[in-house]
Structure formats: structure tokens, C-alpha cells
Amino acid sequence: MDYKELIKSFTKENFQNNVNLHIHSNFSDGKMTPEEIVSQAKSKGIEHISITDHNNFEAYLKTDLKNESMVISGIEFDCWYRTTFFHLLGYGFDINTDLLNPFLAKNKKDTEADWVRIFAKRNVKKLIQAIHDAGGIVVLAHPACYWCLSLDGFVKKLISFGLDGIEVYYPYERHRGIIKFHSRKTVEKIADKYGLIKTGGTDCHSKELH
């Protein structure tokens, strides 16, 4: 399946109603198992999901998610570029790849402990290339949260490394509301300016899919 084209086809209404591409399971710092997430998604009429655990995709390797057509492979990497700490989402990559191994968590703390994850050292350009080489696309997660003088300039630099998309539809009013430095309107304008794929998800970590 061409996941890039599938994700490009999703609309704002999809992300508000039946598509959620940002969910964490208990393979990082979420509360639900992958099976529970899929079950809840189906019961709520959600048509496509992605489990995007921090720095690992064990949820896909140790469960039968690959047999669920509604599930798009995903991961969320902790990254630094100069003085900006940020998250990159990878979607639609081959879960059997070895190309992402150098960038994956070395232990459980690397998938859940904020004080550990903030010291992540990943070469962003090489990471983006590895996701592409594994057949995936790369999206900047919750971009309004990042402290940088120019979000436009920051995104432009990531585009030069191969960034494909930006998470436009995100519930900042929840746990990230206190560290929001830019507006939703700014994020969407940047996405439109550079022709980026627009994605969305709830960043769910709880026992109830929302």
C-alpha cells in the first residue's frame, strides 16, 4: 500500500472524526496494549490509526498489528537540532527494516522517561533518510510546542533534510497547552506555504482512546 498517498488523502474532517495517527501504547509510556487500542478504535468507528511509541516500534514486532488493515506503522523519535528539542513521527515504514536500528531506544527508559529522552542524540538528516529508505514518510509532531525564534525557518531547515509533513490537527489544550509557543494558524500557514502533508492525532497515552 502507498501510505504516503493514503495519508495525503485524509482531510481535516477525517482527523476530527475517524483517523488518529498519534497514539502511544504500553510499549512506551501509554497505558493500553496495542490490542486494546485497536479494539477501542474499532468500537469508536475509527478507520485508521497509528501507534507511535517513543523511539521504538516493538508494538508492531511483538503483536499481530501487521494483520490489521486499519493500522499504519508509526514511531515517534526524540531529536535535537541545534538548540531545539523536538519530535519526529515516522509513518508507513517497513516494520522488518534494520535501517532504523541505530536510532532506536536501547532500553525501556529511553521509551518513557522524559529526563532520559531529552538527552537523545540522533543525527536528524540521517534519521529522516533512514525512514525514507525504509519506505516511510516523516512528519513534525505538535510543532506549536517548539521553542525556536522562527518556526518557519526551523521547518524550512527540516524540509531541506527531507521532511514530508507536519502535524496540523493536534489537541494542544490538553497536556501540551502549557508549553505552546506558536499558534495553530501559524502551523497551518507553514504547511500550506511549503506544500507539506497535513496529519493529526490525539497523542493518547491513557486507558481511554480520545
Q: Is residue 77 part of a domain?
A: yes
β-pairing verdict for 48-51 and 19-23: parallel
Query: Cα dist. 99→94, 114, 196 in Å?
Result: 10, 25, 24
For 92, the grid coordinates are 508507513
- Threshold 0.85, pTM exceeds: yes
**Distance of alpha carbon 162 from alpha carbon 159, whole angstroms:** 5
Is the pLDDT confidence value at 114 over 80? no
Decide: 98 and 92 in contact? Cβ < 8 Å: no
Q: Is residue 130 part of a domain?
A: yes
3-state secondary structure of 64: coil
**Distance of alpha carbon 71 from alpha carbon 21, whole angstroms:** 9
Q: Is residue 19 part of a domain?
A: yes
Is the pLDDT confidence value at 191 over 70? yes
Average the pLDDT over 149-175 and give the result: 91
Is the pLDDT confidence value at 148 over 90? no
> Residue 25: what pLDDT?
97
Is the pLDDT confidence value at 178 over 60? no
DSSP label of 196 = P
Q: Is residue 209 part of a domain?
A: no
> Residue 184: what pLDDT?
85
Place of cell 529522552: 117
Burial-class residue 193 by CB neighbours within 10 Å (0-12, 13-18, 19+): exposed
Query: Higher pLDDT residue, 16 or 176?
Result: 16
Q: Is residue 206 part of a domain?
A: no
> Residue 175: what pLDDT?
54
Assign residue 129 the CATH number of its domain.
3.20.20.140
Is the pLDDT confidence value at 11 over 90? yes
Q: Is residue 57 part of a domain?
A: yes
| First-to-last C-alpha distance (Å) of the chain | 27
Name the domain count of the chain. Answer: 1
Q: Is residue 207 part of a domain?
A: no
Mean pLDDT of the chain: 93
- Residues of the domain holding 18: 3-200
For 71, the grid coordinates are 493500522
Is the pLDDT confidence value at 150 over 70? yes
Cα four-point dihedral sign 5, 33, 141, 210:
positive
pLDDT over 70, % of the chain: 96
Query: Cα dist. 184→23, 78, 146, 173, 188 in Å?
Result: 20, 22, 12, 11, 6
Q: Is residue 123 part of a domain?
A: yes
φ, ψ of residue 198 to 5 degrees: the values are -100, 125
Chain center to CA of 148: 20
